Amino acid sequence: MALKGTLKDFGIADILQLIGQQQKTGVLLLTQKQDTVAVTFREGNIVRAETTSRNRKDLIGSMLVAASLVSEQQLEFALETQKRTLQRLGDVLVSQGVITDQKFKAMVQLQTSETLFKLFAWKAGTYEFEQKEVETETTLTPLRAESVLMEGFRRVDEWPVVRKRITSLQMTFERLKDLPPEELKKDDFDAALDDAFAEEKKSVNKGEFQSVGENERKAYNLIAAGRTVQRIIELSALGEFETAKALCNLINLEYAKGVPPAGKGGADFEADGSRASALLGVVGRIAVTMVVVGALLFIGTRIDFGAVKLGGRNATTYTDPAAQRFASQQQLSRLSAAIDLFKLEKGALPIGLTELVESELLSADDLHFPWREPYFYRRGDDGTYVLLPPLR
């Protein structure tokens, strides 16, 4: 299987999808300027993702120290032992009783996931896949390529909402009230029943940004005077996106208050915004410009996010038609990306949009969100297609 070229011609998402569908085993080498990332596949699943130019803070040892799981002295001693014995760092730390095997594997999994999603921010570079046998990696749970792509879509959808609240890595927080007892937590089905039969309808519905889960509790417990978003991310071991989202939820539910950094504009998350834009560009071939980002921030102030459930399309309501039109533009991008993936898998365009649902690329709600009527789609004989919002 010869797979080599530039990322402008064949996007990262397309490459992952192809290798995953073909269930290939080998190493995908991606290079951009001075950065090189090696993604190892076994039977189409990702079993390792490493960068040769990783910053010190991204090294597994540094991550363990930052999360207060290992001290600097323990790490230095383990590294010296590693040099003498040629053992893996994880094996050394576990054998010395510094960390449990389960905790070390969880950190390796986090490191790999963070490396993969940062990879989607690349706008240019080269790739080359070499099909060969690879060593079995028992530390990492294999990741399906399709799962990585879907997680990327989810982050693209939710990052703008998160960044509206968490504007800087240097923000700090104040607790406003105690969290409800954990034993009183209800699942989404029970919460939905309560909302449906309540005598007085609540002003907002429960959703991904209106609930307290394990991540929110962990983030809440890490809030302390002077402790920044960056430090909470390091200590939580949840990753940048999941930690920021949990803090956003706590602010939305008024369990915590964000305190902007003194004398700073809070543009630390600019890299993440460009990462989401790059992912949209790779998967959907969409040119996301600063004009769109500005429009998103403007429209974001006019959307009733309490009524938006990002995980479920059919319950969404808007307070402004402009927001509905903007959401439709984003949904057209998702539909186009799904059509491209369908063509990559099947070798031909779908006859109708329902085939995307049958192939489990989208849900039935995606075919008309945020409208009542479905989108217009027509496949051409020349390999092109027409995709338009419904007539209003």
CB atoms within 10 A of CB 140: 18
Per-residue pLDDT tens listing for the chain (392 residues): 568 888 887 778 888 888 888 889 999 999 988 888 999 999 989 988 888 765 666 688 889 999 999 999 999 999 999 999 988 888 999 999 999 999 999 998 898 888 888 887 777 899 999 999 988 666 678 888 888 888 877 887 888 899 999 999 999 999 999 999 876 445 555 555 455 444 444 433 344 566 789 999 999 999 999 999 999 999 999 999 999 999 999 999 999 999 998 865 544 654 444 444 444 444 444 333 343 444 444 444 444 433 333 334 443 444 456 667 767 777 888 888 888 888 877 888 999 999 999 888 888 888 988 888 888 888 888 788 888 888 65
DSSP state of 51: E
- The CA-to-CA distance between both ends of the chain, in Å, stands at 48
Residue whose entry in the numeric block shows the structure tokens 């290939």: 24
Question: For 333, what's the count of Cα atoms within 13 Å in the CB-facing half-sphere?
Answer: 20
- Return the pLDDT at 57: 65
- Return the pLDDT at 174: 95
Q: What whole-number distance in Å separates Cα of residue 31 and Cα of residue 48?
A: 16
- Return the pLDDT at 310: 36
- Return the pLDDT at 301: 42
Scanning the chain, the segments in alpha helix (DSSP H) are 12-22, 60-66, 72-85, 89-95, 101-119, 145-165, 188-197, 214-222, 229-236, 240-252, 270-284, 290-300, 321-346, 354-358
- Return the pLDDT at 172: 96
Question: Residues 237, 239, 242, 243: what is their CA dihedral angle, to the nearest 10 degrees?
Answer: 60
Residues composing the chain: 392
- Return the pLDDT at 283: 43
Partner residues linked to 173 by β-bridges: 258
Closest to 249 (Cα-Cα) out of 241, 7, 95, 269:
241
Q: Could you give the angle at which helices 321-346 and 145-165 cross, rounded to 10 degrees?
A: 160
Using only the alpha carbons of the chain, give its radius of gyration. 23
Cα 71 to Cα 74, 80, 253: the distances in Å are 5, 14, 35
Q: What whole-number distance in Å separates Cα of residue 276 and Cα of residue 163?
A: 12
CB atoms within 10 A of CB 271: 12
- Cis peptide, bond prior to residue 181, ω within 30 of zero: no
pTM: 0.60
